[in-house]
Amino acid sequence: MGSTEKWKGFASLSPTIQSTLKRLPELLSATDVRLVYLFGSLAKGKMGNDVDLAILTKNSPPYSFRDELTAFFGTERLDIVDLNRASPAFCFEIIRSGRLLYAADQEVQLQFELGVVRQYHDTAYLRQKQEEGLRRRMAAWSSNTAVS
C-alpha cells in the first residue's frame, strides 16, 4: 500500500506544517521523550503525505504520545518509529538523512548517535552476507527461468 492510499480519507497536511514542526519542543519538554527526528519527504523540504517521526523515549512507548501529536499537528497523518526498537541500519539512515527536531539534552543526542554509528558499523558484515545471499538466490532464480 502506497502512502497516498494509506492516508486516503484523512485531511491533507497543513501548508504551515514546517512552522508547526519548529514548535514541537514546546509540546515535548515535559515528557520523557529524549529525541525526535523528522525523516521522509518533509525532512527533505518537500510537502509529503504524512509526518514521519522517529522518537526515542526514556520509558514510555513513543506511540503513547500519538494523541498529543495528532492534536498538535492537527492531522492523523503521522508515522511514528520507535528508535528503541528500530534496526541499526534504519536508525543510521534516520540520523544521516533526517532532521533533529528535539533533543532533551545534547548528551542524550551524542550518546544515541554515537551508539547508532557504532552498531551500524558493527553489523555491516551481516548486511553484506545478507546481500550476497540475496544475489545468489536471484542469480539461481534467473538461471532457472526460461525466456521465451
Q: Is residue 137 part of a domain?
A: no
- Answer yes or no: is 66 within a domain: yes
Does 136 map to a domain? no
In a domain, 7, yes or no: no
Cell numbers given for 74: 492537527
pLDDT tens digit sequence for 43-73: 888 877 889 999 999 998 999 999 999 999 9
Tell me how many domains the chain contains: 1
51-57 vs 99-103, strand pairing mode: unpaired
Query: What's the CA gap between 8 and 12, in Å, rounded?
Result: 9
The boundaries of the domain holding residue 70 are 13-125
Which residues of the chain have a pLDDT value below 50? 148
Q: Residue 42's domain is classified under what CATH number?
A: 3.30.460.10
In a domain, 32, yes or no: yes
Instruction: Report if residue 5 sits inside a domain.
Output: no
